[in-house]
Structure 1
Amino acid sequence: MAKEFIVSGDSHVVEPVDLYKTRLPKNMRDQALWEEDTILEDPLVPGGHTQFRTVHTAGYEGWTVSRYRQFPGPTPDGLPSSILRDMDRDGVDATMLFPNLSFFALYTDIHERSIAHARVYNDWLAETYLPYANRIRPAAAIPTTDAADAVKEIERAVRLGLTALILPEIPQPFPYWAPEYEPIWEAAEANGLPIFIHVASGGVDSKAGTSATGSQVKGILTAMTMGTQELSGALLAGRTMGGGSTAAASPMRIIADLVSAGVCERHPNLMFNVIEFNAGWLANYMGSMDKAWRTGTGQDPHWWLGFWDEGVDPHDQKLMGRLFKINDRWPLPLKPSEYVKRNFRVQFADDKIAVLSRHITGVDTIYWGSDYPHAEGTFLGSQAVIEEQFADVPDVDRAKILGGNLAKIVGFDDSKKLAPVTPPPSPVVPPPA
């Protein structure tokens, strides 16, 4: 069992199936997200799942997933006592807590629907989890579709006792560089609230009848069908590429938007946390950001190119320009990478490259998280991941990445390490039929 105070930067609730059907204003309950449990008599494959949960909501109607099933032990159900039990089993002292299937309704293109779901969700968070804030910190959901209402919900969340915010990966209606979001940044900084931005959230098109054509789940559906296809060269190449750097495009865009729009310069105390994108890409990206804004070796700042118009004065050629002129026009006092180190934290789960790159990104810039209870996370295997990926890391760096960095951001007392618990036995996986 790891000796450090372990904080997971990524865990999820399991919402009651009828949370929104029973709590939304009565005139909006026909728009409520609700979930339906299905139990099969026989698994779809031998030894497979028999419990499923189907989402009913605009844009994701019919989206169905297996219930979270870990071996050994009970199925996670979202109750605080169950989360604490599972944290103890996994050797986790404290955790952040984010939405689960509520993501499908919290950040949609219909503001009234999104903000109504957010108010219900935030009330439920405060009622359910705040009594356990010494180990569990839920983040209040804030839609971006109306900045004024977002500010009101931020202030209401503070009154409820919530101490962190979660915003969507894909904001609507503008990208994060848009000045329309300035009131949100002001309110978050004024209240000392860190902002978390989680993968696979936002961009919901409520007019779509199914999520099958939505950008957020295309990758999941593609990976799902790969499991039964012939291992052709095209499939192997596509899966290998998908498991590589392509997932980094979205957090890179978020960081570029916020840094380049001057949000970090205007709000030096505002902390953005980018969740569940892993972090091995960060070192290269920080170098690339800075390189874009300086004239490097071999780059002639007076090099012209374009299309010459023979009938126009040489000094008035509209289609000619200096390729590297933009490099020296960065308008902010710090380099992009310096804003990243000061204003951003990037969470990873199983990413040894992120650990090895800590001397470039900064040890303070990254932290670990298990993604409990999702099937792609490290739950019940977290200690093995930590042992393997941090074996040669000095104690001071381990302590920061595994708990200290996030504890400082959200206020956990990292002096209170849990008593060691017996690790669970290895999962028992049924043999193939």
Structure 2
Amino acid sequence: MDKADDRHIVISADGHCGASVTGYRDYLESSYLEDFDRWESTFEVPYEDMKGEEGSRNWDSDRRLRDLEEDGVVAEVLYPNTVPPFFSTSSLASGQAAVPNAEELRRRRAGLQAHNRWLADFCSQAKGRRAGVMQVLPHDIDAAVADVRAGVAAGLHGGVLLPGVPPGSGLPPLYHHDYYAPLWETCAELGIPINCHSGGSGPRTGDREEDDMFFLMEMKWWDQRTLRHLILGGVLERHPGLKFVFTEVGADWIPGLLKSMDRFFDSARTPSGLSGDEVTYHGSHVIDRLSLRPSEYWQRQCYVGASFLHPNETAKRGLVGVDKIMWGSDYPHIEASFPYSREAIRFALGGVPADEAAAMLAGNAAEVYGFSLDELRPVAARIGPGRDDVEAGLDPATLPPEAAKCPAFAGAMPGAATTQLGDNRKSVEK
């Protein structure tokens, strides 16, 4: 076997980055510099992992490449992490509340434009190994479309981060609304995906500890809601060339949700209804406008960035679609698999045939985000995890205690109920 074929190429479909606070200044239009200086003079970084020495992992290109190569990762998809100009918190979650006025909206758009320009430069420092996900504000849909075109022209091929528009945001909260059609049309035309990342869809209910807990627990529900609206609301029907990616929301919920939507679809299309506990939909029969069942839209146009991929999820790969799952490390977050990504990969994919593992580790992400596997293969030949090692799996009892920080090892650490090795050898198909 050729050395390059002896190791897996690993593309993380979930990485986070951003400039330091002052690092964004050079990427702002000159008319915003005085505003920026006033904002920056009072701004305090709200997140501990973005301060001090650890914070540089977000913007230090050389350090990031060293860390990821030590972890066996050759390329990554990059979502935002640090706070862009004129925001108070991460822009990933800032779309959950209404923008107070037109001037603030103008400033925030300028801040996101600065992030996109910075991101294009950051990706160019590791050509072919980074796919930057651009940010837009949907409050002015024509401006959002212009920003998408500018991002693609600058070299950002990671697609668009779908802004959160829950109730209270001041925007149509349902993505099947005609208001968003120009954005869908543009992304389909340019061949870039729409990315839904956990934390960006749901509203915050307050600032108490209980509110934080429920926000974390309900993230997945809001992403499920988004998928329902995109499919049953006809977005995927009207834009068959558009790709949607759901990242950092797990993969175990997908088969059940698709099954329930298929049942609803079948019931709505049956005049007399279905027997059992299903209820026939007697509305305007908008379901009749769909040419495919919900699960078929998923298979045609949707993907999951399965950060913290777990053996329980890998066992369902036949139901989700082996060609739909993309592994992710979530670097540089505290809960990331770094520096135990090799172990996380072995634990999640033990017993999985090498060709299926290769698809989930790199092939699918290369197709969605435009990476060249041929260009990445020489790097993987140096640092990638061995194919035989991955298929052999990992005994979780050998993991160091600090690995427990990552959800990829949930329930598997010493002292907890362990997952039996070999569970992934055959994918669940029914």
Aligned to 2:221: 249
SS of 2:160's partner is strand
Shift of 1:373: 0.4
Deviates more, 1:281-290 or 1:9-18: 9-18
From the superposition, tell whether residues 191 and 391 of structure 1 become closer, same or farther in structure 2 (CA, over 3 Å): same
Number of the residue aligned with 2:329: 370
Q: Provide the C-alpha distance between the structure 1 equivalents of 2:60 and 2:42, rounded to a whole number of angstroms.
A: 17
Aligned match of 2:296: 338
* Alpha-carbon spacing, 1:399–1:23, altered in 2? closer, same or farther (3 Å): closer
d(CA) in 1 for partners of 2:363, 2:248: 18
| Per-residue CA distance 1:148-201 (angstroms, 9 max, x = gap) | 100111111122122233324522512212110000011111111112122223
Distance 1:302 1:140 in 2: 44
Q: 2:90 aligns with which of 104, 114, 126?
A: 104
Mapped contact 1:345–1:366 kept (Cα < 8 A): yes
Q: Give distance in 2, aligned partners of 1:76 and 1:164.
A: 20
Match of 1:15 in 2: 19
Letter in 2 for 1:266: R
User: 1:395-431 CA distances to partner (integer Å, 9 max, x unpaired)?
Assistant: 12111111110111112122333234499x98796xx
The separation in 1 between residues aligned to 2:220 and 2:6, in whole angstroms, is 29
CA distance in 1, matches of 2:318, 2:361: 16
Q: Percent identity?
A: 27
Cα 1:30–1:79 shift into 2, 3 Å: closer
Q: Is the 8 A contact 2:160 2:192 kept in 1?
A: no
Q: Which shows bigger deviation, 246-255 or 3-12? A: 246-255
Per-residue deviation, 1:78? 2.0
More strand by share: 1
Cα 1:170/1:67, change in 2 over 3 Å: closer
Please tell me whether the aligned partners of residues 157 and 370 of structure 2 are also in contact (alpha carbons under 8 angstroms). no
**Structure 1 residue 270 corresponds to structure 2 residue 242:** yes
Looking at structure 1, the residues matched to 246 and 138 of structure 2 have their Cα atoms a distance apart, in angstroms, of: 17
Contact 2:202 2:219 in 1 (8 A): no
Q: 1:426 to 1:389 in 2, by over 3 A?
A: closer
Residue 287 of structure 1 pairs with residue 259 of structure 2: yes
Mapped contact 2:73–2:383 kept (Cα < 8 A) = no
User: d(CA) in 1 for partners of 2:42 and 2:366?
Assistant: 33
Give the Å deviation of 1:67.
Answer: 4.2
How many residues end up aligned between the 2 structures? Answer: 356
What CA distance in whole angstroms lies between the structure 2 residues aligned with 1:361 and 1:301? 27
Provide the TM-score with structure 1 as the length reference: 0.72
Whether the aligned pair in 2 keeps the contact of 1:19 and 1:34 (CA below 8 Å) is: no
| 1:65-214 pair list within 5 angstroms | 65-67=48-50, 76-102=57-83, 104-105=90-91, 107-108=94-95, 109-110=98-99, 111-168=105-162, 170-171=164-165, 172=169, 173-175=171-173, 176-201=175-200, 214=204
Change (3 A) 1:325 1:196: closer
Structure 2 contact 205–211 (Cα < 8 Å) conserved: no
- 8 Å Cα contact 2:27-2:117 kept in structure 1: no
Distance 1:181 1:247 in 2: 22
Q: CA deviation at 1:80?
A: 1.6
Report the Cα distance in structure 1 between the residues aligned to 2:113 and 2:211, rounded to whole angstroms.
31
2:318 is matched with 359
SS at match of 2:198: strand
Contact 2:267 2:280 in 1 (8 A): yes
Asked whether 1:29 is paired with 2:29, we answer no
Q: 1:155 to 1:146 in 2, by over 3 A?
A: same
Closer, same or farther in 2 for the Cα pair 1:342/1:372, shift >3 Å? same
Of 194-203 and 403-412, more deviation after overlay is shown by 194-203
Q: Tell me the distance in 2 between the aligned counterparts of 1:289 and 1:326.
A: 16
Using a 3 Å threshold, how does the CA distance of structure 1 residues 369 and 342 change in structure 2: closer, same or farther? same
Q: Structure 1 residues 184 and 33 mapped into 2: Cα distance closer, same or farther (>3 Å)? A: farther
Distance 1:381 1:159 in 2: 36
Deviation, structure 1 residue 2: 8.6
Name whichever structure is richer in helix by fraction: 2
Counterpart among 318, 343, 346 of residue 384 in structure 1: 343
CA deviations over 1:225-269 (Å, ceiling 9, x no partner): xxxxxxxxxxxxx99xx76xx442111111111112222112111
Question: Larger C-alpha radius of gyration, 1 or 2?
Answer: 1
Whether the 8 Å CA contact 1:97–1:136 is kept in 2: the answer is yes
| Partner Cα separation in structure 2 for residue 127 and residue 269 of structure 1 | 28
> Are the aligned partners of 2:148 and 2:160 in contact in 1 as well (CA < 8 Å)?
no
Question: Which of 249, 258, 261 is the aligned partner of 2:233?
Answer: 261
* Structure 1 residues 389 and 422, CA gap change in structure 2 (3 angstroms): closer
Preserved CA contact (<8 Å) 2:133 2:161: no
In structure 2, C-alpha distance between the alignment counterparts of 1:10 and 1:83, rounded to whole Å = 14
Aligned AA (2:307):
A
Q: Cα 1:336–1:128, aligned 2, differ >3 Å: closer, same or farther?
A: same
Matched residue SS, 2:77: strand
**Cα-Cα RMSD:** 3.6
CA distance in 1, matches of 2:177, 2:258: 22
1:271 maps to a residue whose letter is: K
Q: Which region of structure 1 is more displaced relative to structure 2, 179-188 or 407-416?
A: 407-416
Describe the SS at the equivalent of 2:265. Answer: coil
Over 3 Å counting, the alpha-carbon distance change for 1:406 and 1:374 in structure 2 is: same
| 2:409 equivalent in structure 1 | none
User: TM-score, normalised on structure 2?
Assistant: 0.73
Q: CA deviation at 1:97?
A: 0.8
